[in-house]
Amino acid sequence: MCRALRVKPTPLMAEAGAIDFRIDVPPAPAPLHGIAADIRRHMRSALGLPSGVREGVVTGAGHQPVVWHAGLLAKFIAASADAAALAPADTTGVWLHFISDQDLVEPSRIDLPVREVGGAVRRSAVQFSAAWVRGNDLRASAWYPPFPPTASTAVCASETATAARDAFLRQLEANQREATAAMQFAKSVGSCAQAWTGQPALVIGSAALLQAAAPLVEQILQEPERSAVAFNEALREDPHAARPLRVAGDRSEVPLWHVTRDGSRERISADEARRALRSGTLLLPRAFLASGLLRICCDCFYHGTGGARYERVGEVWWRRFFDIDLPPFGMATATMLPTPAALGISAAPTLPRVSHRRLWWNPHLLTGDRSQHDTRAALVERIVQAPRRSAERAARYAALHEWIARERTAGTDELDRILREENTHRCAHAQASLAHSRTWPFLLLEPSALDALTAAITRAVQDARRGPRIPPNPPRA
């Protein structure tokens, strides 16, 4: 049975297949110099970028190991397009896919429309792993081991959803030899998106990123209190972007996560971090550290709409603590909706502009008679003018309800008809409202629509990059 929902009478299907995107392409970055250039070379080498790529153009984008919706796909398309647009003549730019696997995400689920026994369609997080039982608390996604994927028993609501499920299952099977479930999941997503993003030069997790930045981590551990103070001062830019770091000398908190044996994520002090590094315990970078490292490694790194918030804080911290001005970052996002057929639903019937509930208490609206409207307004005004909690006010309130009851009786047949119509259409309307969500996986979108999105973002990047392209990074002195 479908629960009653109050849904505004909007044309739900009009936007299906439409392209709505936003992109902010930053100015072409200048080559790095000094310590920042050295760090970039070290990181590109430590991450395993080919020698011919290390001095060239590298862009990037990243996200948690989840299946991307169109808004997330857009930033990866932008990174790929910008790598080509920024590259000097006769060279090829490359882009990195960063997996934000320090976050609390279980990398084994994909949202799909499934059909219930009664025929209704609902959104369901389809599980592909029987390797672990989901508890009340999520773990850092880098902790989850790779898994042999299992087919879901859920009944997909459409052929499109079934095909998306099966295609993703095949990719999970092909990538089950990766080091972690996060890497397995993210590479599977990337493979499914390759037609629009192209093949990234490298897919990296946060542990590899942290290892590549070992000299910077050592600097933080040598001066943990100054690091924490600098970050807390940077938080003045946006006090709600993150929690302050604890300042306590050598026990000051550092921008790292400690991942315990059971996968839970803990804050850690400098002295604890040193012991953890000696024992081989898994440490992962916090967001503002990871993002800064990626921006140094890349000529341009792309975020979604949410990334700019902690970037403002991170930039100030990097400048105050490391004396490094980070390269610019870009932003890209999109809103695209699947067709009703892709979700296994029908277009919604149009509900009355005025609900039965409103008409029940305002039956004068049934006729549109202006004199009835004026009568009701006068009755309400008399209530307002009467003293609060007085017998006079109570009498006038009762008079209003008597008038409403008389008008309601006169419109009984029309009220009953509207109620029947709402009851008939409400479940269908609620089903169709699923198509309003912009967070459905891109696997449910029409390939031709994704082609058009890719072309539009690529044109926007190329238009923004017209003019001299950036020279390669200067060789080491």
The Cα–Cα gap between 365 and 290 comes to 59
Q: What is the DSSP string of 361-400?
A: H-GGGGTT-HHHHHHHHHHHHHHHHSPTT-HHHHHHHHHH
Full-prediction pTM beyond 0.85?
Answer: no
**What percent of the chain has a predicted confidence (pLDDT) above 70?**
91
Check whether 440 has a pLDDT greater than 60.
yes
Check whether 11 has a pLDDT greater than 50.
no
Contacts of 92 (CB under 8 A, 6+ apart): 56, 83, 84
Lowest mean pLDDT segment, chosen from 70-79, 224-233, 382-391: 382-391
Taking a C-beta distance cutoff of 8 angstroms, is the pair 60, 49 a contact?
Answer: no
Check whether 1 has a pLDDT greater than 60.
no
Contacts of 166 (CB under 8 A, 6+ apart): none
Tokens representing residue 130 in the block: 């029987």
378: region left, alpha or beta (phi > 0 left; psi from -120 to 50 alpha): alpha
Look at residue 402 in the predicted model and tell me its pLDDT.
Answer: 93
Tens of pLDDT, residue by residue over 180-229, are 999 999 999 999 999 999 999 899 999 999 999 999 999 999 999 999 99
Which band of pLDDT confidence, cut at 50, 70 and 90, is reported for residue 30?
A: confident
- More confident: 102 or 120: 102
Tens of pLDDT, residue by residue over 164-188, are 999 999 999 999 999 999 999 999 9
Helix (H) or strand (E) holding 334: strand 329-335
| Beta strands 121-127 and 109-115, pairing class | antiparallel
**What percent of the chain has a predicted confidence (pLDDT) above 90?**
65
- More confident: 281 or 52: 281
Residue ranges per structural domain of the chain: 14-352+438-477, 356-435
Look at residue 472 in the predicted model and tell me its pLDDT.
Answer: 53
Tens of pLDDT, residue by residue over 37-50, are 999 999 999 999 88
CB crowding 161-194: b at 16 or more within 10 Å, else e:
beebbeebbebbeebeebebbbbbbbbbbbbbbe
The Cα–Cα gap between 25 and 78 comes to 9
Beta strands (DSSP E) in 133-275 are: 202-205, 253-259, 265-269
Check whether 450 has a pLDDT greater than 50.
yes
The Cα–Cα gap between 60 and 330 comes to 10
Which band of pLDDT confidence, cut at 50, 70 and 90, is reported for residue 473?
A: low
The mean predicted confidence, pLDDT, of the chain is 88
Taking a C-beta distance cutoff of 8 angstroms, is the pair 291, 268 a contact?
Answer: no
Helix (H) or strand (E) holding 331: strand 329-335
Taking a C-beta distance cutoff of 8 angstroms, is the pair 302, 330 a contact?
Answer: yes
Check whether 13 has a pLDDT greater than 50.
no
Q: Which of 346, 351, 375, 350 has the alpha carbon at shortest distance from 363?
A: 375
Mean pLDDT in residue range 329-346: 92
Using CB atoms within 10 Å of the CB of residue 468, give its burial: 0 to 12 exposed, 13 to 18 middle, 19+ buried.
exposed
Taking a C-beta distance cutoff of 8 angstroms, is the pair 141, 64 a contact?
Answer: yes
